[in-house]
Amino acid sequence: MEKPLIEKSNFFVFTGGPGVGKTSLIRHLAGLGERVVEETHRAAIAEQVATGGRATPWDDHAAYCELCARCDIARFDALTHETGRVFFDRGILDSFDASWRAPAGLVSAARSRRYNRRVFVFPPWREIYQTDAERRQDWAEAEATFGRVLGGLRRFGYAPLIVPKGTLDARAAFVREHALPAGPSPP
């Protein structure tokens, strides 16, 4: 039985490839008093590495996607009572693999838990891109991720809005100006 549809037009997702400034902007918005939800993916990788787990993008990608999805679903569900604006550093759809395949349960969760139709997508930005212990993707993979994200969002009925490159203040102003309850996307 599919979970009833939960539509949260006050939930705004930041997505895009790795290393494009999503987390920096989320933290900046928090400093401006906005309600934010930190990314689960980097935390999941750090925890797996620290405990010797294999649910990482490079060891067991399917297990990694499932782990992140469970965390993202739990965070969405825990905040359904919120009526104010909430910004998410990645969302449930970010747990799909690069081909946008996912277990049926994850597809059902993504269809039944709807963020605002407008999703903020951060484009590749070579000048700020860096790899580290949790971010091992090379620049080519980071660029390819951007295109896959746009296509996947559209397949699920979301309307991607590209966040222009710029200072944190400029990006924050852009996001705040466009984070209006435009209504959730169709399931």
Element (H, E) at 142: helix 139-155
Number of domains composing the chain: 1
Does 185 reside within a domain?
no
The 10 Å Cβ neighbour count of residue 99 is 8
CA distances from 4 to 22, 95, 110, 187 (A): 30, 21, 12, 11
pTM of the model: 0.88
Q: What is the pLDDT of residues 143-175, one digit of tens each?
A: 777 888 888 899 899 999 999 999 999 999 999
Does 183 reside within a domain?
no
Residue 87 amino acid letter: F
Residue 144 amino acid letter: A
Does 1 reside within a domain?
no
Among the listed residues 94, 70, 76, 93, the one whose alpha carbon sits nearest the alpha carbon of residue 11? 76
List, in sequence order, every residue forming a beta bridge with 15; answer none if it has no partner.
121
Share of the chain above pLDDT 90, in %: 50
CA distance 182 to 111: 18
CA distance 151 to 72: 20
Q: In what order do the strands lie in the sheet with 118-122?
A: 35-37, 86-89, 11-16, 118-122, 159-162
pLDDT category of residue 77 using cuts at 50, 70 and 90: very high
pLDDT attached to residue 151: 87
Element (H, E) at 36: strand 35-37
Q: What is the CATH number of the domain that holds 150?
A: 3.40.50.300
Q: Which domain holds residue 28?
A: 6-178
pLDDT beyond 70 at 115: yes
Does 143 reside within a domain?
yes
Does 120 reside within a domain?
yes
Does 184 reside within a domain?
no
Residue 135 amino acid letter: R
pLDDT category of residue 1 using cuts at 50, 70 and 90: very low
